[in-house]
Chains A and B, each alone.
Chain A
Amino acid sequence: ETGVTQSPTHLIKTRGQQVTLRCSSQSGHNTVSWYQQALGQGPQFIFQYYREEENGRGNFPPRFSGLQFPNYSSELNVNALELDDSALYLCASSKGAYNEQFFGPGTRLTVL
């Protein structure tokens, strides 16, 4: 059974650019949640996708958007990057919105 995978591993962008991060969910999981983890902090919820629909979002601006595909993989898009967007972006998959969430290794984004 393949776990949650994310790509790319690392990314360096400049302020104002756009970025797309990708996540493949664990086999049998239909829900993907995205979190942002700043250095020294716990993960903060960005949004969740359940069966290709956004199920809800946290306190992040609209320039953070996402998609979920029929195979339940997902993308996180961030427009107009700001320096404070530098963080580890984590994807978690689960069987349904409320069950155990299993995390991928994350994508480390650096904005210069």
Chain B
Amino acid sequence: QKEVEQDPGPLSVPEGAIVSLNCTYSNSAFQYFMWYRQYSRKGPELLMYTYSSGNKEDGRFTAQVDKSSKYISLFIRDSQPSDSATYLCAALDRGSTLGRLYFGRGTQLTVWP
């Protein structure tokens, strides 16, 4: 079982839709959770960085962590064609001596006009 699981999609939605992206993880020691956006053939760009359980909002993006179910989500409101990219979830165990990120395989999102 991989440390972080993510449905690769693809996911295709019309402009203006609310998008929900999800991941599950298996390691209870994970404390920090991230969402990265990656455009084709580019490096990942950090979107959200959250600690433990709860919600964090930044503009049209909301990250949600439920540690009891080991479930992390990213919601995109009023989606735009420029949001079309691959979205990667990642987790970090700050209790270890190593700042290693564990990534899901990414969900490919297309927002059509």
A interface with B by C-beta (< 8 Å):
4, 6, 31, 33, 35, 40-45, 48, 55-56, 58, 88, 90, 92, 94, 96-106, 108
B29 within 8 A of A: no
| B103 pairs with A42, CB closer than 8 A | yes
Contacting pair A108 B100 (CB below 8 A): no
B residues contacting the other copy or chain, number (CB 8 A) = 27
Name the contact of A42 in the complex, choosing from B49, B88, B92, B99 (C-beta under 8 A): B88
Q: Which of B44, B45, B92 contacts A98 (CB 8 A)?
A: B92
Interface residues of B (CB under 8 A from A): 4, 6, 8, 32, 34, 36, 41-46, 49, 88, 90, 92, 94, 97-106
B34, A43: Cβ atoms closer than 8 Å: no
Q: Are the CB atoms of A97 and B99 closer together than 8 Å?
A: yes
Q: Which of B8, B36, B49, B104 has the most CB of A within 10 A?
A: B36
Contacts of A40 in B (CB 8 A): 8, 105-106
B residues within 8 A CB of A33? Answer: 99-101
Interchain CB contact (< 8 A) of B6 among A42, A43, A44, A92: A42
Task: Tell whether, in the assembled complex, residue A103 and residue B45 are in contact, meaning their CB atoms are under 8 Å apart.
Answer: yes
Shortest CB distance A36–B (Å)? 11
Find chain A residues with CB under 8 A from B44 CB.
43, 90, 103
Are the C-beta atoms of B103 and A43 separated by less than 8 Å? yes
Residues of chain B within 8 A of A44, CB atoms compared: 103
